[in-house]
Amino acid sequence: MAKQDIIRLGAAQFLTGVDIDENAEKIRHYVHEASSLGCRILLFHEGCLTGYPDREQIKNIDLSKVSAYEQEFIRMAGETNMSLLLGSTSSRDGSFYNDVLVIGHKGLLLGRYAKTWRAGEPWYDAGSGPVIFSVSGLEATVMICHDLRYPEMVRLPVAAGARIVFIANNESGLQSEHKLLGYRSMQISRATENHVFAVMANAPSDPKAIGGTNSSHGNSKIIDPMGNVIDEAGWFEERLVWASVDMTQATGQPALRSIGRDPGVADVYGTDCEHPDYSSWIKSGLRLVKRLDGTEP
């Protein structure tokens, strides 16, 4: 095991709301904490900077303030030598998007991933599908909350080379008890069905307002390629979830097998691809995977 194969990953779990200044102060805190622990990549939850607005709130977001804070966190990524994935809201061409900013460790914006599959928020426009990018030297992908329900949002980027899936969530709260096991199962499934690491950041539940907006049910976690949960926060905790992981464990084998690129298959079955039609279907989907490369090599 080479030293460079080990990398420390983090996910920040904390309450945010519609006050952008308060959200930004908490983001700063967790960037500094993660940096002090030696994290190389830090994930924040969906809408972390701007809150998760409703139809009326989104009209009142101060986008100039949002942009200024985004630029600050881009600089902080370079100062701490740490890649950041930050939930935000943007407006482009007259439409609003539910974004994750993908910021490289050299302090450069690699791009924005806009939530592809919305969950009943028509004031946001739909994003354009799966992405892949390189952060801190690792190939990765990111999705937002409801995207979890579409397994191809991970399978395709993994087939394209991703070995970590970052999941920025702001799910239903504790009152939606019937959904909680499903959420947890999907996060674990996306990792183990692709043999990759998964990192999920979610807002915790607010003990003072269980049914309040901009809170969820916590359980931010880091999952290994066999589906084992390495670290996980509770429902109400506000803390940094982190782990040092061995990236040699992330093979992407099932995804590679589906496109005839798993070298072990031929030895066992005497063919590079057992199901050519299925493989052709997956390969055709690879054209949907957009690379975010910004200006960072």
* 161: pLDDT strictly greater than 90: yes
Between residues 294 and 124, the one the model is more confident about:
124
Task: Enter the tokens of residue 200.
Answer: 């999920």
Provide the pLDDT for residue 1. Answer: 44
Provide CB contacts within 8 A for 155, sequence distance 6+: 193, 194, 255, 258, 282
Q: Are 103 and 73 spatial neighbours (Cβ–Cβ below 8 Å)?
A: yes
Q: Tell me: the pLDDT tens digits for 220-233?
A: 999 999 999 999 99
Are 141 and 116 in contact, with CB atoms under 8 Å apart?
A: no
pLDDT at 2: 52
What is the pLDDT at residue 213?
84
| CA 282 vs CA 50, 170, 188, 195, 286: distances in Å | 36, 29, 22, 17, 7
pLDDT per residue over 12-62, tens digit each? 999 999 999 999 999 999 999 999 999 999 999 999 999 999 999 999 999
pLDDT at 211: 87
Confidence of residue 10 (pLDDT cuts 50, 70, 90): very high
Spans of all domains in the chain: 3-291
- 25 DSSP assignment: H
- CATH, domain 3-291, list 3.60.110.10, 3.20.20.80, 1.10.3720.10, 3.40.50.300: 3.60.110.10
Locus of tokens 């190389």: 40
pLDDT at 295 over 70: no
Whole-angstrom distance, CA of residue 165 vs CA of residue 132: 10
Question: In this predicted structure, what is the pLDDT of residue 115?
Answer: 98
pLDDT at 297: 39
Mean pLDDT in the chain? Answer: 95
Label residue 236 by pLDDT band (50, 70, 90).
Answer: very high
DSSP 3-state of 266: helix
- Over residues 225-243, the mean pLDDT reads 98
Asked if residue 165 lies in contact with residue 252, where contact means CB atoms within 8 angstroms, the answer is: no
Predicted local distance difference test score (pLDDT) of residue 266: 87
Q: Where are the alpha helices (DSSP H) in 88-176?
A: 152-159
Containing 231, the helix (H) or strand (E) segment is: strand 229-232
Q: Provide the total of helices (H) and of strands (E) in the chain, helices listed first.
A: 7, 13
Residue range 175-186: mean pLDDT, rounded: 96
